Chains A and B, each alone.
Chain A
Amino acid sequence: MKYKSQKVAYWFFALSMALFALQLVYGFIMGFAHAGFDGLHSIIPFNTAKAVHLNLLVVWLLSGFMGAAYYIIPEESQTELTSVKLAYVQLISLALVGVAAIIGFHFNIWEGRKFLEIPRGLDYLVVANVLLFLGIILTTLYKGKRRTTTSLVLVMGLFFAALLYLPGMLPFDSQVTDSFFRWWVVHLWVEGVWELIMGGILSFLLIKLTGVDREVIEKWLYIIVGLTFLSGVLGTGHHYYYIGVNKIWLVVGGIFSALEPLAFLAMALFAVNMYRKGEKKHPNKIALYWTLGAAIVSFVGAGLLGFAHALPQTNLYTHGTLVTAMHAHLAFWGAYAMIVMAIISYALPNMTGRKFNDTNIGRMAFWFSNIGMIGMTVAFGVAGVAQVYLERVMKMPFMEVQKEVEVHFIVLILCATLFVSGIVMYMIEFFRHGRPTDEALVKN
């Protein structure tokens, strides 16, 4: 750690971990309900569990991205953050908004739009919170000694993520138009600007961990984020095939969705090649595991599995089935959860001065969580494909099909248990590092 103000990142990472843990609890509630055990229905019905599970995901990832920015931007700009106090105000308000939204979901207070369930009143607070965050980051960048491509791409991603929250707040009388613009937020976040954030963090980590020349890494960063937008923006069309808008989206969405895996493939090849070119001397092997893991698993989860049901001919049958859950779990895990865990693994030893760089428990956390998540993806996939054939092709009634696929949710729960044991180990390592300290400054 080179700047004292970078310590604020620790608390964003801690908030991330707390919300992540809670997200997993609600995931289990949903998994058990699907398997036929819905004993909590009267206090936490499925729609509440789902809203909490999705929104906790969004908030913990955002908190992780913000922590990443508070750690990376001072180091890249070679200056302290403009205001540490305001950063803590932003942290506390983010936590309060998140917790208020989650409590509200248990009392039927929500907007009922998938991923954007946060009620309107809290939406304005989210906007204020993000503006404060951007204010701190942009003023730091402005007064900094240098502006690197890595920091510009990261900040551009965060800025556009904030801007794209706004279309989700537009009121529409039509369900079709509502859905159309909801995807401007959700799709253009996860298959657009969030990839800039991921690319920025990945670039920073590869520069630090591999020792490869910054100019080489940042050139590739431009190409990758270029491919991302080239395919991802018009790839939004794959959400428009069957929601009541023009057939032109079948053609546009089909072509550009087919190109989307290329951006993820480029990212995976880029990360692996930089590692092979590098000196392999950096002691933080755990951070390297998560960094390369994020690039590779995101290609499989977001790239390949996304492509598997993004063609119009396939999506006609898979749209709105468990096949989507299969893709979504591995994609969010690989692209975003793992990159947040990578930057945490890299930053923690630097902020606390405790070098748990290559521990058994750290390695087991990586493998258990990844093998568990791959198992969960397979369970969702088998259930999803069975659902498509029985319900959409054989025309069996919904609940009869659900009974048929119940057993796959038992497998899902078993794999999720493995996954969670990995995450618990990761969190043990997180706490074992202790708190950030100024003493760590001299050690770096």
Chain B
Amino acid sequence: MLSKKQARTFFLGGTLVTFLAFIALTIYSFSGSQDQTNHENITEAVIRGKHLWETNNCMGCHTLLGEGGYYAPELTKVIDRQGEGYIKAVLMSPVPWAPNGRKMVAYGFSKEEAQDMVDFFKWIGEIDLNGFGEVVGVDRTRSSLSE
């Protein structure tokens, strides 16, 4: 059986090795040809859209890239699913949008802000998500939200 000293070596050694591997994999996954984050298509409008996304805590209800709250729809492929016009109408609405009775905060965005959000969602929708995009992004034409 291990001695206490050997157990400590196992802890410190294992931690060091896995942490270095983690750093190496991080560098690898963001390097040149391996990078699939779609960062080359980020525009000023996309950055403004991300800022709006964060400052209004949209993630508190919605998921994006599968992350966030489970109270409102996943928005990764929302442009494909609902179209730009619908999204802008929701964001610019002066009264709470309430599809099927579940209310959204009335943000009353300006036209420009709504466009920035749309550009942000378009950029998100074009990221290669290793197959997740197909799971959340197709065959939603029956949605009662678009009626």
- Chain A contact residues, CB within 8 Å of chain B: 30, 33-34, 36, 38, 41, 45-48, 50-51, 105, 108, 110-114, 117, 149, 173-180, 215, 218-220, 222-223, 225-227, 229-230, 233-234, 236-237, 240-250, 252, 316-317, 319-322, 324-325, 387, 392, 395-400, 402-403
Contact = CB atoms under 8 A, between A and B. Distances in A.
A112 B105 contact: no
A14 to B, nearest CB: 29
Contacts, number: 215
Contact of A226 (B7, B37, B99): B7
A105 B56 CA distance: 10
A320 to B, nearest CB: 3
B4 A218 contact: yes
B78 to A, nearest CB: 11
A117 B56 CA distance: 11
Contacts of B21: 233-234
B70 A403 contact: no
Contact of B7 (A222, A242, A246): A222
Given A219-B2, A316-B135, A225 B11 contact: yes
B60 A324 contact: no
Contact of A215 (B4, B10, B63, B127): B4
Majority DSSP secondary structure for residues of A touching B:
helix
A241 B18 contact: no
A269 to B, nearest CB: 15
Nearest to B133: A242
B58 to A, nearest CB: 7
B132 interface: yes
Interface string B32-51: 00111111001000110010
A219 B65 contact: no
B102 A241 contact: no
Contact of B14 (A110, A230, A392, A399): A230
B64 interface: yes
B100 A402 contact: yes
Given A47-B69, A244-B36, A112 B11 contact: no
A175 B143 CA distance: 27
Interface residues on B, range: 35 or more
B101 A47 contact: no
B70 A234 contact: no
Given A38-B103, A316-B132, A320-B66, A244 B37 contact: yes
B61 A46 contact: yes
20 contacts: A41-B103, A47-B69, A50-B60, A112-B55, A114-B67, A174-B38, A175-B65, A219-B4, A229-B15, A229-B18, A236-B22, A237-B25, A242-B131, A243-B67, A248-B34, A249-B29, A250-B130, A252-B25, A320-B136, A398-B143
Contacts of A243: 65-67, 129
B34 A246 contact: yes
Contacts of A41: 96, 103
Interface in B49-87: 50, 53-61, 63-74
Given A47-B57, A112-B60, A320-B67, 4 more contacts: A50-B61, A112-B59, A149-B8, A225-B11
Contacts of A241: 130, 132
Interface string B100-144: 111101000000000000001000100111111001101110111
Contact of A242 (B29, B105, B132): B132
B145 interface: yes
Contacts of B63: 320
A222 B10 contact: yes
A399 B102 contact: yes
Contacts of B69: 46-47, 50, 114
Given A222-B11, A236-B22, A403 B100 contact: yes
B121 to A, nearest CB: 10
Nearest to A397: B143
A246 B26 CA distance: 9
A174 B39 CA distance: 6
Interface string B12-31: 00110011011001101110
